[in-house]
């Protein structure tokens, strides 16, 4: 018995990275095994955005507005992923009984959240690409990339800020029961409205646009439109400014997620709400 090799135990940053990879893995592999989810997650936004495309056509909007809708539909995939697979995730884990295992295991909950975010980003990027390609093909939309590097920068910053927000919300939702599900539902259409998912953000009053800038989707969409639809995108703020704000949001949300996660975990332990299910 004593001759058996002792299993290696990672600690410190190695454990952190392995935990991240382990949590990201099912996000990436899961969608290969659940083709129905992939089907629904591409088809549902496409059906929704098609209706908005026909609305624009019915009222004689310029062709670039169709591009707005396609881009909005693709970016909505990330927002839905942030809501359902990040913010709501720890609540779902509580429902399926996994959350206590996360707590018992000798790993960092922050690494689990980061792993969820990385896996979610990758898997959703595939879905968003599918929506973008199919939408562009169906409605004959031509995107013209004026500055590829800046576009890539905006996209990466947008994802960091969005998923940072998701991590922060996941920490907050740790305490919630059934209301978490409803709150996530309630954060869909109102965010689509204030972030200008299907129309230029500067159509809204400036006060609303400024308030909506706390949602990374708002500035990300405005910047991306300016970079791929230069003729139709009457940008709200210069792209560099929007990138700066997105960077700031990414830092603030990730730091807030770390602080809140520690606080909420302690609170949830004290109130015995980590193991409640079917609330």
Interface with other proteins (CB under 8 A): 34, 36-37, 40-41, 43-44, 47-48, 50-52, 54-61, 65, 95-96, 177-179, 182, 185-186, 188-190, 192-193, 196-200, 203-204, 278
**Closer residue to other proteins in complex, CB, 163/198:** 198
CB of 7 to other proteins, least distance (A): 28
CB of 15 to other proteins, least distance (A): 26
Q: Please choose, from the candidates 178, 16, 38, 28, the residue with its C-alpha nearest in 3D space to the C-alpha of residue 113.
A: 16
Q: Considering the complex, state which of residue 196 and residue 216 has its C-beta at the smaller distance from other proteins.
A: 196
Nearer to other proteins, 44 or 125 (CB): 44
Q: Which of 206/266 has CB closer to other proteins?
A: 206
Q: How far is the CB of 2 from other proteins (least distance, A)?
A: 40
What is the Cα–Cα distance from 131 to 137, expressed in whole angstroms? 10
Residue 6 or 278 having the CB closest to other proteins: 278
Distance of closest approach, residue 91 Cβ to other proteins, in angstroms: 12
CA distance 174 to 118: 20
Q: Which is nearer to other proteins, 30 or 230 (CB)?
A: 30
**Closest distance of CB 224 from other proteins, Å:** 18
Give the Cα separation of 110 and 17 in Å (integer).
11
Angle between helices 109-139 and 239-271 (to 10 degrees): 140
Compute the distance between CA of residue 62 and CA of residue 64 in angstroms, rounded to an integer. 6
CA distance 48 to 79: 15
DSSP H helices in the chain = 12-33, 35-58, 64-82, 89-96, 99-104, 109-139, 148-172, 179-186, 189-194, 206-212, 216-228, 239-271
Q: How far is the CB of 8 from other proteins (least distance, A)?
A: 31
């Amino acid at each position: 018995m004593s001759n058996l090799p002792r299993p290696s135990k990672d600690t410190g940053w190695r454990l952190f990275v392995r935990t991240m990879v382990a949590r990201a893995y099912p996000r990436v592999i899961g969608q290969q095994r659940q083709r129905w989810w992939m089907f629904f997650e591409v088809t549902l936004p496409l059906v929704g955005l098609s209706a908005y495309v026909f609305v624009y056509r019915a009222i004689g909007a310029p062709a670039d507005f169709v591009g707005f809708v396609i881009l909005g539909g693709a970016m909505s995939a990330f927002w839905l992923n942030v809501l359902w697979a990040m913010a709501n995730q720890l609540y779902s884990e509580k429902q399926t009984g996994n959350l206590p295992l996360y707590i018992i295991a000798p790993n960092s909950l922050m690494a689990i959240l980061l792993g969820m975010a990385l896996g979610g980003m990758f898997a959703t990027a595939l879905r968003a690409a599918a929506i973008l390609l199919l939408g562009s093909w169906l409605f004959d939309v031509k995107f013209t990339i004026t500055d590829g590097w800046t576009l890539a920068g905006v996209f990466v910053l947008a994802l960091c800020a969005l998923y940072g927000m998701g991590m922060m919300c996941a920490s907050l939702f740790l305490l919630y029961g059934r209301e978490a599900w409803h709150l996530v539902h309630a954060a869909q259409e109102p965010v689509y409205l204030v972030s200008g998912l299907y129309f230029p953000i500067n159509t809204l009053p400036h006060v609303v646009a400024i308030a909506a800038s706390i949602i990374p989707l708002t500035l990300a969409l405005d910047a991306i439109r300016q970079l791929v639809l230069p003729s139709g995108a009457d940008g709200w703020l210069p792209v560099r400014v929007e990138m700066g704000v997105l960077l700031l949001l990414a830092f603030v949300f990730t730091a807030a997620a770390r602080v809140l996660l520690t606080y909420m975990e302690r609170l949830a332990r004290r109130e015995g709400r980590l193991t409640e299910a079917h609330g």
